[in-house]
Each structure stands twice: as structure tokens, then as C-alpha cells.
């Protein structure tokens, strides 16, 4: 029975299957209808879109506000920096307004043939430059007390500088007044006690070289690749010929700043720096130093100088080699022609020469702080004036010294000088000096 029922069902399904296939082929399945969105869902989408737009607008506004705040902060910082810079410029040494600088020295000297003595010297340098100006006014004077060459109970006061200069451009300056004469390098670069490695001046620069003169000057620099040239030109009252002193007749007086006639001294210096640590130069000055009413006398002075300061790793330090030599020629004339001064008549010309060479060593590359602040110094200097002239002498000295640099502007110097004279008595000396830059 079960088998008959199963067979009947199978046959029935077989007969129905073509009709179903035909029905499917004639009537394709219905397409899917689009899903509808309710009003509530549409309103929610609108609300979400509005919120996103508002958030985007808020972000853009925040970015704009932040950029504006940053720009304002930058402007405020620039204003504050400019205010600080203006304040610094007002008090910055050497740039503008008022600056007090200079140097000071004190020490002890004992020299053969003279009494030992303590000495002191203060040399203020006053600079003033009006704000936003190319004008510079400078003045300097020396106040000296004691020393081997002056009475220890008295003091000396002398003015060394009183001039005004104008910076035309970075390479050209003009000026006038009482200025340091660019004759050689020593008085322009090396004689301050906190720069000079020796406690006294070379012989020639005390006797036959000008220090300061009254006149007008121009100076500047000419760059040339990695090298440069420096130039100095000036016209000044010049030196005065000594004619009435029986012990100094024929010599030039550089300390009297008034002129004795209408002729002016002209001179200059040309320097060359092949490397930053090397300089060489040539100087000259031509003048007519005789007073009115005296026979015409002409003085021609020349100087050659050299300075080299290399750092040498092989010796763990720095060498400092410098040298200058001066030639001074005063034309012949007759002094005390009438004999009224009781030392003439005497006729002679004056050719004098002198200079110095120095070599110093400082072990700046050593690790030991004390040793690298020690400097060993040596110098030879000489001065030859005509033995046939009043006060003539041939003198030379060897100086050996040890310096200790407490700071870059404070040095303690000790030196022993071995003196040799052809006419006078030798005057060996021991000198102790402390030099300070203000």
C-alpha cells in the first residue's frame, strides 16, 4: 500500500514539472521594489547633515582664529624684540651714545742708576656717537703718577686724543682733530698696557716716532678677494724742530701740537693683510719743522712694520712675532749761528734709526688652565741718534719677560732688561706691571 501511494506521488510530480517550467519562462520574476524612507528617517538625515556642516564651520573658524592669534603673537614678539634691540643699541659699547673705556696700569720698577719706584697710570677713553648717526667723537688723556722718568712726588696729565670722525661708508672714514698718527703699528695697536706684552715702550717709539698730531685724516679698507688693503692719509701740524736746547738741538719735538710755520706735515700708511693673522705696512711723513726766521729744514720719516700671529698645533700654542723699524732724516743746518746760546755755531744733519723685534709664545692649546695663560716674551729694541749731535747715543736692549693673563683684559707682566749704551751708562732694569683694559 505504501509503495502504491509513493508511486502515485512521483508520477504526479513528474507530470506537473513541465507546466511549472513553462510558467516560469513566460512570466519573469517580479523586480525588487525600492525601499521607502520614512519621514522620520528623512528628518534625522537632514538633522545629521546640518550638524556636520556646523561642525565643519566651527573647525574652519577655530583654524582662522588660531592663525590670527599666531600672527598677532608674532607681531607682538617682533615689537618686543625691536624694543629690546633698541635698548641694547643705546648702551652697546662703540655703537652709539656714550661709552667710557680706556685702560689702567700700575707697577714697580728698579733701574740701575736711578731710585726704585712704584708708578700708576690711568687713561680714560671717552666715545660718543649720536643715535642713528655716522659721527663719532672721541677723546682720551693720560694721568701718570710716579715712574722712573718723572718725579715720584708729581703727576703728569696729557691729552692724547680729541677728534671727530664721520663714516662715509663701510670702507671710508674722514675726521679731524688731535688723532693717533698712523705711523707704524705700535701706537695705533699695541701700546695700551693690557695689549702690550712688555711693561714699557720700545726706545724708538719714545724718541723718533710721532704719537698724536693735530690735523685732518682719512682712512679705510679695500677688500681684495681673501686679502685686504688698509690705507691712512693725513695732513697735520707736524713735529717741531728743537733749535735752542744745547742738549737736544736737531731733534724733533712731537709733543708740541702747534705749528711753527705755514707748512704742514703730510703722511700716511699703506697696509696689506695676505692672511687674517698677518699684516705688513709702510709709513711715511714729510714735514718742514723749523720755526719762522730759522733756515729751512726738512724732515722725512719712514717706517716698515710686520706682525704675524699664527696658531701652531705642533707646539700646542700661538706665536706672536712683530717688528717695526724707523728711519728719520733731518736735513743739515746750522744751530746757534750767532753763538748767543753758547753752544754754537754748529752745523749738522740728523739721521736717526731704530725699532724693535719681538717674539712671544703662549701655549693656548694645553689642557692645564694655569699653563695656557702663561706667555713667554722676548724683545730686542734699539735707537741710534748721531753721536756728533747734542744728546746723540747708540743704545740697544734685550728684554726677557713672563706674562700671566688673568683674563683677556688683565695681564700681570714681569720683565728684565739688559741695556747697552755707547756713550752713557748702561741701565739694566727689572719691571713689574699690571695692565687692565677698562
Annotated domain spans of the chain? 161-437
Domain 161-437: which topology?
Porin (2.40.160)
Tens-of-pLDDT digits for all 438 residues of the chain? 444 444 545 445 444 444 444 444 455 555 555 566 677 777 787 787 888 888 888 888 888 878 777 778 788 888 888 888 777 666 555 445 788 899 999 999 999 988 899 999 999 999 988 877 899 999 998 888 875 443 445 677 888 889 999 999 999 999 999 999 999 999 989 999 999 999 999 999 878 999 999 999 999 999 988 999 999 999 999 999 999 898 899 999 998 888 888 899 999 999 999 999 999 999 999 999 999 989 999 999 999 999 999 999 999 999 999 999 999 999 999 999 988 988 889 999 999 999 999 999 999 999 999 999 999 999 999 999 999 888 899 999 999 999 999 999 999 999 999 999 999 999 999 999 999 998
Nearest to 123 by CA among 29, 2, 204, 211: 211
Phi-psi region of 339 (alpha: psi -120 to 50; beta: other; left: phi over 0): left
Per DSSP, the residues of 169-223 read: ETTEEEEEEEEE--SSSIIIII-STTT-SSSS--SHHHHSS--EEEEEEEEEEEE
For 320, residues 6+ apart whose C-beta sits below 8 A from its C-beta are: 197, 308, 309, 358, 359, 360, 361, 362
Q: Are 419 and 428 in contact (CB under 8 A)?
A: yes
Amino acid at each position: 500500500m505504501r509503495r502504491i501511494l509513493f508511486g502515485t506521488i512521483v508520477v504526479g510530480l513528474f507530470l506537473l514539472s513541465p507546466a511549472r517550467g513553462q510558467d516560469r519562462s513566460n512570466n519573469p520574476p517580479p523586480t525588487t521594489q525600492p525601499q521607502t524612507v520614512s519621514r522620520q528617517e528623512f528628518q534625522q538625515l537632514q538633522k545629521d547633515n546640518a550638524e556636520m556642516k556646523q561642525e565643519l564651520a566651527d573647525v574652519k573658524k577655530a583654524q582662522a582664529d588660531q592663525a590670527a592669534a599666531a600672527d598677532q603673537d608674532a607681531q607682538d614678539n617682533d615689537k618686543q624684540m625691536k624694543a629690546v634691540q633698541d635698548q641694547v643699541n643705546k648702551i652697546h659699547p662703540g655703537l652709539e651714545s656714550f661709552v667710557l673705556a680706556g685702560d689702567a696700569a700700575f707697577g714697580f720698577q728698579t733701574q740701575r742708576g736711578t731710585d726704585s719706584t712704584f708708578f700708576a697710570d690711568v687713561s680714560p677713553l671717552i666715545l660718543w656717537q649720536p643715535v642713528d648717526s655716522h659721527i663719532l667723537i672721541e677723546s682720551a688723556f693720560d694721568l701718570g703718577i710716579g715712574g722712573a722718568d718723572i718725579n715720584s712726588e708729581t703727576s703728569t696729565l696729557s691729552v692724547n686724543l680729541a677728534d671727530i670722525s664721520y663714516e662715509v661708508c663701510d670702507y671710508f672714514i674722514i675726521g679731524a682733530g688731535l688723532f693717533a698718527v698712523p705711523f707704524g703699528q705700535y701706537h695705533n695697536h699695541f701700546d695700551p698696557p693690557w695689549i702690550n706684552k712688555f711693561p714699557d715702550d720700545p726706545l724708538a717709539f719714545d724718541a723718533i716716532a710721532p704719537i698724536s698730531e693735530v690735523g685732518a685724516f682719512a682712512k679705510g679698507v679695500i677688500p681684495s678677494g681673501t686679502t685686504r688693503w688698509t690705507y691712512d692719509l693725513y695732513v697735520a701740524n707736524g713735529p717741531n724742530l728743537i733749535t735752542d736746547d744745547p742738549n737736544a738741538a736737531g731733534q724733533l719735538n712731537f709733543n708740541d701740537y702747534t705749528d711753527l710755520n705755514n707748512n704742514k706735515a703730510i703722511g700716511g700708511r699703506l697696509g696689506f693683510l695676505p692672511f687674517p693673522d698677518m699684516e705688513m705696512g709702510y709709513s711715511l711723513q714729510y714735514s718742514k719743522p723749523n720755526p719762522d726766521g730759522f733756515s729751512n729744514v726738512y724732515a722725512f720719516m719712514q717706517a716698515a712694520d710686520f706682525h704675524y700671529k699664527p696658531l701652531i698645533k705642533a707646539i700646542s700654542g700661538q706665536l706672536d712675532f712683530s717688528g717695526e723699524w724707523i728711519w728719520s732724516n733731518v736735513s743739515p743746518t746750522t744751530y746757534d749761528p750767532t753763538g748767543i746760546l753758547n753752544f754754537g755755531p754748529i752745523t749738522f744733519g740728523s739721521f736717526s734709526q731704530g725699532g724693535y723685534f719681538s717674539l712671544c709664545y703662549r701655549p693656548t692649546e694645553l689642557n692645564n688652565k694655569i699653563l695656557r695663560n702663561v706667555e713667554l716674551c722676548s724683545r730686542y729694541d734699539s735707537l741710534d741718534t748721531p753721536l756728533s749731535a747734542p744728546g746723540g747715543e747708540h743704545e740697544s736692549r734685550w728684554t726677557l719677560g713672563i706674562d700671566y693673563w688673568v683674563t683677556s683684559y688683565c695681564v700681570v707682566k714681569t720683565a728684565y732688561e739688559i741695556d747697552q749704551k755707547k756713550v752713557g751708562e748702561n741701565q739694566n732694569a727689572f719691571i713689574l706691571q699690571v695692565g687692565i683694559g677698562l
